[in-house]
Amino acid sequence: MADPVGPDEVRAVAEAALELPGADGVEVLLMHEWGGLTRFANSAIHQSTGREDTGVRVRVVTEARTGVTATNDFSKEGARSAAASALEMARVAAPDPLYPGLAQKAPVPERPGGFDEATAATTPEQRAEGVAALVGELRKGFRAAGAFETGAVEIALANTEGQFCYAPYTQSTISTVVAGGDGSGTAEKAASRVQDIDPAAVGARAYRKARESQRPQDVEPGRYEVVLEPMAVDTLVSFLSYLGFGGRAIAEGRSPFSGKEGQRVCGPSIYIYDDALSPDTIGIPFDFEGTPKRKASLIEEGVFVSGVHDRRSAKMAGTGSTGHALPPPSPEGAFPLNLFLQTGDATVEQMIAATKRGLLITRFHYSNVVHPIETTITGMTRDGTWLIEGGEIRHPVKNLRFTQSILEALSNVEMIGRESELASEFFFAASRVPALKISSFNFISASDH
């Protein structure tokens, strides 16, 4: 659909903004993205799209005052115009007493294999074949809905301190809900390379869950042991990150981890870290200020280690940036985009066998925060929930609403899966997490399906 513009043209556009007179510092974030998404429902392709977009986001600083202007006019003129607009805004802004300066020139680590030509060049016909293979796994009476997306991004950061970073990367994701009768199931897969996606396997897994979800029965809300599959675990880890791991929130006392450095916050088997450089995730080797990425340990042996920082929150905390800045303006500060929950040694089957009376949960739906400091969230189960009794799956159950503190749940982890899965978000944020067995999880009400 489109070709990369390459680092030379990116640098040329960036330099048009960096030449802005009258500024103490200029930073330019550039992006070029293209790809397609084949969306299907009722086992037919119904809303497929192709898209190419560009972005030039200029941050201008003068006397510690900052203005930001973004445009998708990816040209020297567009960059110059955005820079001038950002300077106009900076001049009316109040000085930031915590302005940390722009990132200094520094080498960015290599991240080989991030860009795959075949993924970038995937055609609508190839995606349609993939969807057909997925749908081909279903038997009569079941239908599939979902999306198969392939895309490529070039991202670059340049500033007047001489830093220039450029990284192309690709991403492919497929996800589906298979439904029929009175049950449904889901599965997904994300990878850098489309060749690593097996649509038929995803379809088969979702279909199996849908078939095994038929005739769900009521169960009473209350506290249950749970076996959470990776998609459900991702909800816990992602919300915990949203509520707590940002260095600014921690410094300002708004995080559940404020003042908790070095303290036990959950069970000793829990390790959470962020690592954009790992080949097991989809990431880029620098952040949106141009700071090189590195692995950041967040929780070790259940003890909170540290949050993540951009340059400003690092200055607040008296430390250095961990390379987790978001695109400007980012009032909430830094955020980890490549989380890992460390694997253990159990299989899901072993977790089920070790459960006296509990629930096997595929995923949660439409979760939201109830109490941010207590890390309490609420949400629904969806697309495959089963009652376990005596170490065996008894029958599917109707969906339940949970209201649960994440840190309490992570304090009650009894077993951790030995396999992990990458749960992809819209951008390149992704969590790689295993299944968990948790001894107590709070369900407060039930739905009718």
Partner 1 sequence: MLEVAQQAVDAARRAGADYADARFVSTESETLTVRNQEMETLNRGLSQGIGIRVLTGGYWGFAATARTTPEDIERTAGLAVSIARAASRLPMEPIRLAEVAPARGSWSTSVLEDPFTVPLDEKVALLMEASRRLQGVPGVTFGEASMDFLRRRSSFASNEGAAIEQTIVHSGGGIEATALSDGEMQRRSFPNSFRGHIRAAGYEHIRTLGLVEETERTGREAVELLSAKDCPSEVTTLVLDSNQVILQVHESVGHPLELDRVLKMEEAYAGTSFVSPEDRGKLRYGSDLVTITADATLAGGLGSFAFDDEGVPAQRVTLIDRGIFQEFLSSRETAPVVGGRSTAAMRADGWENLPLIRMTNINLEPGEGTLAEIIGDTKDGIFMTTNTSWSIDDKRVNFQFGCELARRIRDGRLAEVYRNPNYAGITTQFWGSCDAVGGAEEWVLWGTPNCGKGQPGQVARVGHGAPPARFRDVQVGVR
- By CB under 8 A, the residues from 349 to 388 that bind partner 1 are 365-373, 378-380, 382
Q: From the CB of residue 44, how many other CB atoms can be counted at a distance below 10 Å?
A: 11
Q: Shortest approach of partner 1 to residue 295 CB, angstroms?
A: 29
Stretch near partner 1 under the rule CB under 8 A, chosen from 83-91, 100-108, 266-274, 432-440: 83-91
- Under rule CB under 8 A, residue 328 binds partner 1: yes
Contacts (CB under 8 A) with partner 1, residues 166-205: 175-177, 179, 186
The answer to whether the CB of 316 falls within 8 A of the CB of 98 is yes
Nearer to partner 1, 25 or 285 (CB): 25
**151 closest CA partner among 430, 428, 437, 431:** 428
Q: Which of 86, 11, 87, 1 is nearest to 36 (CA)?
A: 1
Residue whose CB is less far from partner 1, 82 or 415: 82
CB 48, min distance to partner 1, A = 5
Interface residue with partner 1 among 16, 20, 90, 298 (CB under 8 A) is: 90
Bridge partners for 179 per DSSP: 143, 184
Shortest distance in whole angstroms from residue 201 CB to partner 1: 17
Residues 234-263 that bind partner 1 (CB under 8 A): 252-254
Q: How far is the CB of 407 from partner 1 (least distance, A)?
A: 12
- Number of helices (H) and strands (E) in the chain: give both, helices first: 10, 18
The kind and range of the H/E element at 444 are strand 430-446
Residue of 19, 93, 121, 350 interacting with partner 1 (CB under 8 A): 93
Distance CA(206)–CA(137), nearest Å, equals 9
Using CB under 8 A as the binding rule, whether residue 217 contacts partner 1 is answered as: no
In the complex, the smallest distance separating the C-beta of residue 426 from partner 1, rounded to whole angstroms, is: 5
Cα angle: 41, vertex 428, 90; to 5 degrees = 120
Minimum CB–partner distance for residue 392 and partner 1 (Å): 27
Please give the residues from 128 up to 167 whose contact with partner 1 meets the rule CB under 8 A: 128-129, 131-132, 135, 143, 145-147, 149
> Which C-beta is closer to partner 1: that of 355 or that of 376?
376
Of 369, 313, 317, nearest in space to 336 by CA: 313
CA 13, CA 43: separation in Å to the nearest integer?
44
Task: In angstroms, give the least distance from the CB of 105 to partner 1.
Answer: 26
Question: Residue 43 CB, nearest distance to partner 1 (Å)?
Answer: 7
Q: Name residues contacting partner 1, limited to 389-448 (CB under 8 A).
A: 399, 401, 403, 426, 442, 444-448
**Which of the stretches 66-74, 152-160, 261-269, 431-439 binds partner 1 when contact is defined by CB under 8 A?**
66-74
Of the candidate residues 19, 24, 41, 440, the single one contacting partner 1 (CB under 8 A): 41
Q: Which of 263, 273, 252 is nearest to 324 (CA)?
A: 273
CB nearer to partner 1: give 108 or 179: 179
Give the 3-state secondary structure of residue 290. Answer: coil
What Cα–Cα distance (Å) separates residue 94 from each residue in 62, 140, 154? 10, 64, 33
**Minimum distance from residue 177 beta carbon to partner 1 (Å):** 4
User: Residues, the chain, total?
Assistant: 449
Q: Give me the helices (H) in 245-347, please.
A: 247-251, 311-317
Residue 169 has φ and ψ, to the nearest 5°, of: -150, 160
Quick check: 312 binds partner 1 (CB under 8 A)? no
Q: Which of 69, 119, 241, 313 binds partner 1 (CB under 8 A)?
A: 69
> What residues form DSSP beta bridges with 386?
360, 396
Exposed e or buried b per residue across 229-260, where buried means at least 16 C-beta atoms within 10 angstroms of its C-beta: bbbbbbbbbbbbbbbbbbbbbbbeeebbbbeb
| Candidate segments 22-30, 48-56, 267-275, 388-396, binder of partner 1 by CB under 8 A | 48-56
Which of 238, 355 has the CB closer to partner 1?
238
Count, residues near partner 1 per rule CB under 8 A: 90
Which CB atom, from 337 or from 346, has the smaller least distance to partner 1? 337
